[in-house]
Amino acid sequence: MNTFKLILFIFTAFLLFISCSKKTNELSYGNWRGVIIIKTENELNEIPFLFTIEKKSEPNKLIAKIYNAEEVIETEEITFNKDSLNIKMPVFKDEIKAKIFSKDSIAGEYIHYGTRMNYSLPFYAEFGNTNRFAITEPPAINVTGKWEVTFFPGDSNENKSIGEFVQQNNKVTGTILTTGGDYRFLEGVVNGKDFLLSCVDGSHTLLFRAQISDKGTLENGILIGGPNWKETWRAVKNDNAVLPDPEKITEINPDAEVKFSLIDLNGNRVSLKDDKFKNKVVILQIMGSWCPNCMDETRLFSELYNIYNQQGLEIIGLCFETKDTTESIKRIKRFSEQLQAKYTFLYAGEVGKKSVLAVLPFMKDLKGYPTTLYLDRNHKIRKIYTGFSGPGTGKHYDKLRNDIIQFIEKLINEK
């Protein structure tokens, strides 16, 4: 029996076993280890993550916390009904639907709601296991430091990223920075020569794995992000690795007039010519409610909007979502309300380069979400920035935050 069939047999047997077990309306509170299973080609991949389920002081109220390195994601959107448990992830729409087969075991499905395709993935969890990945051997090396990561090595799609990791004993945390942002908070282990990282945050379901070579490089790397998302990669330590300047990635016609007319979350038409934006510094976010890096940027912009709005700052989120306007506006409302973002959000059309260039024809290309345009009080483009390095990148986020604040203050103070 090949590996794929063996794993499939074991998982099927597990589901049959628990489905025949006596179901219960009891549930253990505390630490859980969840596993999402993604099938790619002829392979089953397990993406583990840690979470807790806790009681709140209010009767019949629960709270779940999902952990990815330093990130703690809290949600109170939990339904616990007889033998069923439903957990909705905050901000995004992904959710876990599971049956309770004993107070220490649940199983069901993890449902991902995409802009173009929804899919369901097998899910199970066990109580009391706090090991994200199994550790059976001492680490072959310590991966702490900066790594030059090559995705699709040797392929026409080859591109560079930067991995920054911190290792203590077997445990590894860190992220991978890209020209579009970063892979947020990653957590895993070095188990012998196996390098393993994962992240589950309501949008991402990520597994990075690689083998440590005798030369200390990371080889035969695979990134799994969904049933149709599989990338190869390798990495070498390189303290001098850098990414392209994010202010020079996206090309535009700098003399073009920025204009658009789009609907807001109440169905009203909005344009830059509206009184609300006259003589105001305006930040335009090219974004989506499905985008984790956009979420990180929105959290920061929400904070800065509250500080600088009275001084002449406006922010507009141009949201590229699904073809369905009604569904898209629901998504954007959930996104903005849960992030407590009080600035303007507009539905700009379906996600994709074609839609972005139709709304903003002065752009020559779209390199990633988010892409952010900074306009002065005359609505001239003063800077365009591709990507966003979020809190998971540590010092990179701190620097970017300070740079954004300084630039906003410069534009506001110009006569």
* CATH code of 16's domain: 2.40.160
CA distance 291 to 297: 10
Domains held by the chain: number: 3
- Same structural domain, 282 and 173: no
Half-sphere exposure of 102 (CA within 13 A, CB side): 10
CA distance 409 to 411: 5
Rounded average pLDDT over 213-241? 96
116 or 148, higher pLDDT: 148
Give the H/E segment covering residue 168.
Answer: strand 159-168
Label residue 34 by pLDDT band (50, 70, 90).
very high
Amino acid at 12: T
The answer to whether 76 and 62 are in contact (CB under 8 A) is yes
Torsion angle defined by CA atoms of residues 15, 19, 23 and 29, in that order, rounded to the nearest 10 degrees: 10
- Same structural domain, 187 and 292: no
CA distance 182 to 184: 5
The DSSP symbol for 141 reads S
- Same structural domain, 174 and 104: no
Beta-bridged to residue 186, according to DSSP, are 174
- Same structural domain, 121 and 153: no
Boundary-marking domain end, from 99, 127, 155: 127
Amino acid at 362: F
Is a pLDDT exceeding 80 seen at residue 254? no
Is a pLDDT exceeding 50 seen at residue 153? yes
- Same structural domain, 190 and 77: no
Domain that holds residue 371: 262-413
- Same structural domain, 167 and 110: no
Boundary-marking domain end, from 127, 160, 181: 127
Rounded average pLDDT over 284-290? 97
The DSSP symbol for 250 reads S
Domain presence at residue 256: no
- Same structural domain, 97 and 193: no
Domain presence at residue 228: yes
- Same structural domain, 221 and 279: no
CA distance 239 to 166: 14
Give the H/E segment covering residue 334.
Answer: helix 325-338
Domain presence at residue 174: yes
Tokens of 283: 């930040």
Domain presence at residue 162: yes
Rounded average pLDDT over 325-330? 95
19 or 405, higher pLDDT: 405
pLDDT tens, residue by residue, 72-126: 999 999 988 878 999 999 999 899 999 999 999 999 999 999 888 899 999 999 9
The DSSP symbol for 363 reads B
- Same structural domain, 194 and 66: no
Label residue 7 by pLDDT band (50, 70, 90).
very low
- Same structural domain, 286 and 395: yes
Query: For position 294, which CATH number holds?
Result: 3.40.30.10
Query: For position 231, which CATH number holds?
Result: 2.40.128.120
**Cα-to-chain-centroid distance, residue 67:** 13
Domain presence at residue 250: no
Give the H/E segment covering residue 281.
Answer: strand 281-287
Q: Residue 369: which of 312, 307, 295 has the closest Cα?
A: 295
pLDDT tens, residue by residue, 394-408: 999 999 999 999 999
Boundary-marking domain end, from 84, 99, 127: 127
CA distance 59 to 87: 18
pLDDT value of position 5? 44
Q: Long-range contacts for 97-101 (Cβ within 8 Å, ≥24 apart)? A: 98/123, 98/124, 98/125, 99/18, 99/19, 99/23, 100/23, 100/24, 100/25, 100/26, 100/27, 101/18, 101/19, 101/21, 101/23, 101/24
Domain presence at residue 254: no
Rounded average pLDDT over 25-34? 90
How large is the greatest C-alpha to C-alpha distance in the chain, in angstroms? 74
The model's pTM is 0.90
Give the H/E segment covering residue 150.
Answer: strand 145-151
Burial degree of 281 (CB within 10 A; 0-12, 13-18, 19+): buried
Domain presence at residue 139: no
- Same structural domain, 275 and 387: yes
Label residue 43 by pLDDT band (50, 70, 90).
confident
